[in-house]
């Protein structure tokens, strides 16, 4: 089970996540977010990270050229598009570097997910004008349907208290945690980071033990360095 911790604004938080086993860290380049980090600051943080940690840039409705510029400047491995970007917008990037955030509300929304040219879907919950970071749970029943067809990152309101149940019920490829490991928006709590990663490792190890022989989930890694 892969894990991403999102909304990094401070070096100590990023290193705590990396040292405790996070596979990927997210940097939010959406100016209206309380977790916004400038490209200059993100670059500073990123260059001090252990090389094996995957760096994900989170964008909301940013012009394509600006996303490309920030990606090159900061050395981002993957791009998480979390706004109203269209499939045509997405096609201006290699699909291998894209994570598309989606918030389907019912089964009827599922066929449209086929249109996204991306490496993985990230299931989140939108709340009014807020694009993400709401701390609200996503729809786990739809998540089970989605993960049968696509590499899925489960997101939305995950925290040390509910992530074990989320993994047992949804069995996603990866999980993404953000406000659930904070003491206030943009300020992570290293104890909560340790707790959430510990819970992910324990739950996924128990799941592996119970899996019948021959039930391989494949070796697909979402958080790896993609070739453009
Ligand atoms: O965190 C934000 O402020 C944010 C703003 C705009 C787009 C995405 C944002 N965060 C993403 O939201 C999900 C879920 O967050 P939470 O766990 O419910 O707090 C996560 O993938 C973040 O990448």
Q: What pLDDT digit, counting tens, does each position of 116-166 carry?
A: 999 999 999 988 888 999 999 999 999 999 999 999 999 999 999 999 999
Is there an atom of ligand 1 within 6 Å of 131 CB?
A: yes
Q: What pLDDT digit, counting tens, does each position of 42-86 carry?
A: 999 999 999 999 999 999 999 999 999 999 999 999 999 999 999
The answer to whether residue 205 scores a pLDDT higher than 90 is no
Return the pLDDT at 212. Answer: 60
CB count within 10 Å of CB 91 equals 11
Is there an atom of ligand 1 within 6 Å of 188 CB?
A: no
Nearest CA to ligand 1 atom 5: 132
Is there an atom of ligand 1 within 6 Å of 59 CB?
A: no
Q: For domain 2-210, give its CATH number from 3.40.390.10, 1.20.1630.10, 3.50.50.60, 3.20.20.70.
A: 3.20.20.70
Question: Would the pTM count as exceeding 0.90?
Answer: yes
Is there an atom of ligand 1 within 6 Å of 134 CB?
A: yes
CA of 52 from ligand 1 middle (Å) equals 23
Return the pLDDT at 176. Answer: 98
């Amino acid at each position: 089970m892969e894990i991403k911790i999102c909304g990094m604004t401070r070096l100590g938080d990023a290193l705590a996540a990396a040292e405790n086993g996070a596979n990927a860290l997210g940097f939010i380049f959406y100016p209206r977010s309380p977790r916004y980090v400038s490209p200059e600051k993100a670059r500073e943080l990123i260059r001090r990270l252990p090389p094996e940690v995957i760096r994900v840039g989170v964008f909301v409705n940013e012009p394509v050229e600006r996303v490309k510029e920030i990606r090159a400047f900061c050395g981002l491995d993957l791009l998480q598009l979390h706004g109203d970007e269209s499939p045509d917008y997405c096609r201006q990037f290699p699909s291998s570097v894209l994570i598309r955030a989606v918030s389907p509300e019912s089964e009827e929304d599922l066929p449209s997910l086929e249109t996204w040219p991306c490496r993985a879907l990230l299931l989140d919950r939108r709340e009014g004008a807020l694009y993400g970071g709401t701390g609200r749970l996503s729809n786990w029943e739809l998540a089970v349907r989605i993960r049968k067809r696509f590499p899925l990152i489960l997101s939305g309101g995950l925290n040390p208290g509910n992530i074990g149940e989320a993994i047992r019920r949804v069995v996603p490829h990866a999980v993404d945690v953000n406000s659930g490991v904070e003491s206030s928006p943009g300020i992570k709590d290293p104890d909560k980071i340790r707790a959430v990663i510990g819970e992910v490792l324990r739950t996924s190890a128990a799941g592996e033990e119970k899996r019948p022989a021959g039930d391989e989930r494949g070796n697909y890694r979402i958080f790896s360095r993609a070739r453009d």
